[in-house]
Structure 1
């Protein structure tokens, strides 16, 4: 999803950047810089305008404090901030949208106003919108729609939405982009990039090391977001990923009536996740909605690697039947397979409290450079992450970690990889949304059971190897950890079925790949020359309700079906070892 266009204009501009920015299709910081260097008065005027408006706002807050009118004026000041962000345009509106999802960071009076930035912005005139539709689709409004709302039902930072019905009868949402967006977006990105160069040295150590890259990532995503054909493709890819998930709803795209600046998609009957009255009227469980949201977010990151980078309440709806509908796919990102696996590794190492490996994971993810000496960093990670997790993993929340982790930026050479700015924004936004539904929410209440189930039901060799990392430490089998994983996997899923997992595990155990595990299990069972009957009994009590003779027989048959003759032969030494366990001395000698 990331397009590299440095050093080459992708829009056919002349070398002086003199042609219209409205022709630009992909974010090209070099072309944008050339354009505005030849027009410095535009950059100066915009900078003065931004500084003037925020200075007036900050002075107003100070004046309220000096005159004792802060409480009386708090609502008018909140509205003033919303109006400033609205006047400054889409770039600053997006900043306000991000803040509107953090009830733990923003005062309620400001939060209520910033929430209006999600879909209550001033619309542009409907005649202009209809003219854009007719020009883009090359037919009249009457030819396309049997009926269409005379006014937009929602207006956001980049476009506005009309409710309509096609001539063929389907009810649709028609998304029309605001005219002349690029001049504003490109100027703001140019100024942000310019500011990042002189801000970076003022920030601690490597915190500002790649500030320009983060601006470029944001710019790339903004350009993708204003290409509605790209958004349509994203929606279909996202829908394919969740095709088997009955809790997630994605609208269909009507390609015949869509273009780069107009998108026609299936109408979703639903309401905002923050509309508590509608949630109560529909008898929906808010904690179930949180679980759907967090689980779908984790699946996006850890399973598919294709994630929604802008999940604010204006883009997420609850349906009356309890589904979660995603309706905006302009800002998406794609993780590589290597990055997905490293994220799972980091979770496993965090569960194991193996902070040296966590430090190595940070190197692989780009938070630390490969030449960084991680030895002094390991104790610091243990202090921060150990305190965040506490004695109980359920005490964890994402904001706790980010707040404590920020202190490490001042002491150690951590830096923020550009792509992780979007991941962190997505995670913070989702947690903020969950907090607005339930202030007592902790993300690990859902995340940890999900990870436990993923490890226990690992469908790939890579995930099964990671399960082994969790279950073995210093060559010893961690009985209690296996018990905890099974118990936690069940904690938020009463329907969690251990038998499919057992079949996968048995197949793995009987395979050539499972040779090491067979040896380790035998050694674990007879460790210190005794059969660990207590641990086996505890595990049995945990799983016995799942073990029905007929189902157990089917599992065994299913596992043995995939066993080759060579695999069966390889089992014999392990079985012999179990029947005639090695002595303590022989174990020591080996």
Structure 2
């Protein structure tokens, strides 16, 4: 019977699609209206029952007493509706600031505690895909799945070579359910778009399409395996961020064998603390990893819910699911950095232009009222109130602006926003008092001060100069912010800066800095004194000496460079 089910599903007409195709899916279901009507009625009926239950509890004054039952009922509905709705529930399960605690506890179960499909059926898929029975491939394999998620389930096994591995086996009936739900959601999106109060509703079907593209990528385990290796390569120099090794000999589109990660789920805060791990450090690792993905690599994890993240026993963080990833274009990465620079500068006119480049505003939009609104919403972000901000506060403020002005949500940014919000939700689950900007701002400041790329160097100069005048306070703020989390080493930054100043490209900046010291017909000794007080603890004599030698070595001809370290030694005698 199992083999018949597998054959029937694999012969589904839409199984031939190599990726998400909205037109092909629509063409298929338009000819099968009874399937669409029945599925729609089922969805409406399930949620109607839930809402009626809530109204009845409120009328009877029993809302608090029945809340746990209603939360469990909602989870059961989402589970029955399948992978598309489970993905939404997983996203909500990461937001303790948005969802009541009792509902949150139930939604968290959607991350990896879903009903599994029969083990014999899973083993049949393994045999079909790998060409051998499971016991011929794996020395041992768990009799039951250790986790079941929306798209598949996981078995723990040991290879004959001795490595512990995780085997992901895809659910056999995914395609018909996913394509039908995506078709219905797309129809609803088109119908609702004109009725929504925000211009986010424009192109709402494009957001569904973006979700569909990622969902199709996620059910291709070969694609996931490539994503995992690419992610690991980006973080190869960071021992605090890990990704599992892929075993290609035992992996196909429907079966994925990868390294077993020994660790603790980020949802299990008590076990994390019992293992002696620092939750605040894990938060910092997670946020920095997310920022690097968006602003450095442009390749980011779009589904970083706690079921996909583990704290390892050595204090690092491991990602285990790479099905839903996305890639940012270089121009988008640069514009995101630009927006941070313009926010630091409080240059709201340029920030508005950044939103145009990113697609949040049309090119012909009247920017004057929007610039004023941005100043009201974001005006105090770079003040002492920074510690009071989190991403939700900013988005809540922004919602009023988006309601009043012609903002729209580009499809690409639906995933970016989901990723950032989910990351912050994970951080809040580990530390409810955490503020994402406490890590994000020092990271951005450090990148501006230390990155050797031409683009970021130009952005740093843009921060430090306004209308031709050097902004001493901005340099002080950048240094203070960069130093605020203890991860910033001033000496490499000073050496990079000095080396650049001695180059031909740095000639223009040298001249501007010299002028800055005497701007407004006075020596800026007070500003220099404040900077010295800020950095003097970091400028040890030995480090200063090495930086000077390194800078001159990089700037002078090779013949001179060869003898420079000896010649500069105190008391050196060239004739000896």
Q: TM-score normalized by structure 1?
A: 0.91
Matches within 5 A, 1:55-454: 55-204=48-197, 206-387=199-380, 391-454=384-447
Q: Is the 8 A contact 1:86 1:93 kept in 2?
A: yes
Q: Is the 8 A contact 2:139 2:160 kept in 1?
A: yes
Give the C-alpha shift of residue 515 in structure 1.
2.5
Give the C-alpha shift of residue 496 in structure 1.
2.3
Deviations 1:395-421 (A, max 9, x none): 221001111111122211110000000
Query: What's the secondary structure of 1:376's corresponding residue?
Result: helix
1:543 corresponds to: 535
Cα distance change, pair 163–205 in 1 and its aligned pair in 2 (3 A): closer
Quick one: distance in 2 between partners of 1:205 and 1:70? 32
Q: Is the 8 A contact 2:229 2:245 kept in 1?
A: yes
Quick one: distance in 2 between partners of 1:58 and 1:275? 31
2:498 corresponds to: 506
Deviations 1:265-295 (A, max 9, x none): 0000111112111111111111111000000
Query: What's the secondary structure of 1:197's corresponding residue?
Result: helix
Give the C-alpha shift of residue 213 in structure 1.
0.6
Query: What's the secondary structure of 1:106's corresponding residue?
Result: coil
Deviations 1:174-223 (A, max 9, x none): 00000020000000000010001110000125221110110000000000
Quick one: distance in 1 between partners of 2:198 and 2:254? 42
Q: TM-score normalized by structure 2?
A: 0.93
Deviations 1:324-383 (A, max 9, x none): 000000000000111001000000100111100100000010001112121221001111
Quick one: distance in 2 between partners of 1:381 and 1:551? 43
Which 4+ runs in 1 deviate beyond 6 A? none
Question: Structure 1 stretches of 5 or more lacking a match?
Answer: 1-17, 566-590
Quick one: distance in 2 between partners of 1:66 and 1:19? 47
Quick one: distance in 1 between partners of 2:87 and 2:250? 27
Q: Is the 8 A contact 2:267 2:307 kept in 1?
A: no
Quick one: distance in 2 between partners of 1:557 and 1:119? 56
Give the C-alpha shift of residue 388 in structure 1.
5.4
Query: What's the secondary structure of 1:344's corresponding residue?
Result: helix
Query: What's the secondary structure of 2:139's corresponding residue?
Result: strand
Query: What's the secondary structure of 1:512's corresponding residue?
Result: coil
Worse-superposed segment, 267-276 or 40-49: 267-276
Quick one: distance in 1 between partners of 2:471 and 2:266? 41
Give the C-alpha shift of residue 528 in structure 1.
2.4
Quick one: distance in 2 between partners of 1:53 and 1:159? 24
1:516 matched to 2:508:
yes
Query: What's the secondary structure of 1:295's corresponding residue?
Result: helix
1:534 matched to 2:526:
yes
Quick one: distance in 1 between partners of 2:219 and 2:316? 27
Q: Is the 8 A contact 1:226 1:261 kept in 2?
A: yes
Cα distance change, pair 389–62 in 1 and its aligned pair in 2 (3 A): farther
Q: How many residues are matched? A: 547
Quick one: distance in 2 between partners of 1:547 and 1:411? 50
Deviations 1:478-531 (A, max 9, x none): 2222122222212112x5211111111112212222223212211111122222
Query: What is the CA RMSD across the aligned residues, in angstroms?
Result: 1.4
Quick one: distance in 1 between partners of 2:504 and 2:50? 68
Q: Is the 8 A contact 1:389 1:396 kept in 2?
A: no
1:54 corresponds to: 47
Worse-superposed segment, 540-549 or 292-301: 540-549
1:44 matched to 2:41:
no
1:29 corresponds to: 22
Q: Is the 8 A contact 2:386 2:437 kept in 1?
A: yes
Cα distance change, pair 107–86 in 1 and its aligned pair in 2 (3 A): same
Q: Is the 8 A contact 1:388 1:401 kept in 2?
A: no
Deviations 1:104-138 (A, max 9, x none): 11111100000000000000000000000010011
Quick one: distance in 1 between partners of 2:375 and 2:384? 13
Deviations 1:15-39 (A, max 9, x none): xxx9612222200000000000110
Q: Is the 8 A contact 2:309 2:319 kept in 1?
A: yes
Quick one: distance in 1 between partners of 2:357 and 2:346? 18
Question: Structure 2 stretches of 5 or more lacking a match?
Answer: 1-10, 558-576
Deviations 1:28-78 (A, max 9, x none): 000000000110100000000000000010000000000111111100000
Quick one: distance in 2 between partners of 1:430 and 1:176? 26
Query: What's the secondary structure of 2:318's corresponding residue?
Result: strand
